[in-house]
Amino acid sequence: MTVEQMSQFLAGRAQHDSDETLALRVDSIHLSERLTPGALSQLEETLNAGPRTRESLQLLADGSVFLAPGPNELPKRPAPSAAEQEAMMSGLTNFVAVTMRRLPDFFATRTTESYDNAPTVVTHSGWAPAEPMHADGTFRETITYRQGKEVTEERAMVSGGNTGSRAAGLTSSGEFGPLLATILQDSSRGSIRWDHWESTDAGVVAGVFDYAVPAKASHYNVDFCCVKNTEIPNPLAAGDIPIPFHSRPAYRGEIFVDPATGAILPSITPR
């Protein structure tokens, strides 16, 4: 479904369905375009969505992040000329190399929302999920940037999930600065090209550039806790002791650039 088709489909049932039933309808939907934050917020308000439906809609939005927005959400502007694209890229490079490096030390809060659909129930046919993809905890940590480097200061589990010293599952770092330089450095050995105009949540029309980085050029770190240990000589012990996973995979994404200044707008999406 497109976002508009989904909105009409759900609106026709919202008055009669319970929160749980409406959420199950959302769980069955596959979108053909991105459910943007603005469209998500409007849909939640239109449906007067309950907590279970809101969770399902958020999952649907997260899963659609790699799709293009619907045509009705894209600004009606002609593509910039080659010279204008070059000027935006020059401003982007200056923003990362100069402006970002001059930022004062600061604090930020990183929020990691975890979801799970791991098999947890044994049935006559084997393991089966206890329920569809569902929220499994929110982890927040306060981080400090000193001289452009990220330093973890405090970690606290807010709700659900594990209560260890770090977020369970996939973790990331560098979103508030260093990641930008990594993407530009890596994409110079991959590809980066103009794609389209798009409106941000703040109402600014941004130039969107697509980038793609091969694994051999990647400095994008992916960490995961934890995977089965298959390297133990004793096969009886293999897999019993989990070990951390680390990789530098190929990746791709989008960079949203303010065409007037070259500043990067808050809609970077590594994939």
Q: Does 166 have pLDDT greater than 60?
A: no
Of 188, 216, 210, the C-alpha closest to 271 is: 210
Q: Does 56 have pLDDT greater than 50?
A: yes
- Once rounded to an integer, what is the mean pLDDT over residues 136-145? 82
- Domain end, chosen from 45, 71, 97, is at 71
- Once rounded to an integer, what is the mean pLDDT over residues 242-250? 86
- 233 lies in a domain? yes
- Once rounded to an integer, what is the mean pLDDT over residues 218-228? 82
Distant-in-sequence, close-in-space partners of 223: CB < 8 Å, separation ≥ 6: 170, 171, 172, 244, 245, 246
Q: Return the minimum-mean-pLDDT range out of 18-22, 161-165, 187-191, 196-200.
A: 161-165
- 268 lies in a domain? no
Of 183, 201, 211, 220, the C-alpha closest to 267 is: 201
Q: Does 233 have pLDDT greater than 70?
A: no
| Judgement on whether residues 226 and 107 belong to the same structural domain of the protein | yes
Q: 22 or 223: which carries more pLDDT confidence? A: 22
User: What pLDDT, on the 0 to 100 scale, is given for residue 93?
Assistant: 92
Q: Does 145 have pLDDT greater than 80?
A: yes
DSSP states along 77-97:
-PPPPHHHHHHHHHHHHHIII
The proportion of the chain whose per-residue pLDDT surpasses 90, expressed as a percent, equals 38
| Judgement on whether residues 198 and 218 belong to the same structural domain of the protein | yes
| Judgement on whether residues 63 and 116 belong to the same structural domain of the protein | no
In whole angstroms, what is the distance from residue 50 CA to residue 55 CA?
Answer: 9
| Judgement on whether residues 94 and 10 belong to the same structural domain of the protein | no
The residue ranges of DSSP E strands in the chain, in sequence order, are 106-116, 119-123, 126-129, 134-146, 149-159, 169-171, 191-199, 205-213, 222-227, 243-247, 251-257
User: What pLDDT, on the 0 to 100 scale, is given for residue 46?
Assistant: 93
- Domain end, chosen from 49, 71, 93, is at 71
| Judgement on whether residues 55 and 162 belong to the same structural domain of the protein | no
Count how many domains the chain has. Answer: 2
Q: Which two tokens stand for residue 57?
A: 């809609």
| Judgement on whether residues 119 and 198 belong to the same structural domain of the protein | yes
User: What pLDDT, on the 0 to 100 scale, is given for residue 270?
Assistant: 44
| Judgement on whether residues 127 and 39 belong to the same structural domain of the protein | no
In whole angstroms, what is the distance from residue 13 CA to residue 6 CA?
Answer: 11
C-alpha radius of gyration, the chain, whole number: 21
User: What pLDDT, on the 0 to 100 scale, is given for residue 124?
Assistant: 63
| Judgement on whether residues 166 and 236 belong to the same structural domain of the protein | yes
The domain in which residue 86 lies consists of: 82-257
| Judgement on whether residues 62 and 116 belong to the same structural domain of the protein | no
| Judgement on whether residues 14 and 116 belong to the same structural domain of the protein | no
Among the residues of 34-120, which ranges form H helices? Answer: 37-47, 51-63, 82-94
| Judgement on whether residues 145 and 206 belong to the same structural domain of the protein | yes
User: What pLDDT, on the 0 to 100 scale, is given for residue 58?
Assistant: 92
Q: 162 or 227: which carries more pLDDT confidence? A: 227
User: What pLDDT, on the 0 to 100 scale, is given for residue 83?
Assistant: 95
Pair 49, 26: CB distance under 8 Å: no
- 264 lies in a domain? no
| Judgement on whether residues 158 and 217 belong to the same structural domain of the protein | yes
- 114 lies in a domain? yes
User: What pLDDT, on the 0 to 100 scale, is given for residue 36?
Assistant: 87
Q: What is the mean pLDDT of the chain?
A: 82
Q: 217 or 119: which carries more pLDDT confidence? A: 217
- Domain end, chosen from 71, 92, 109, is at 71
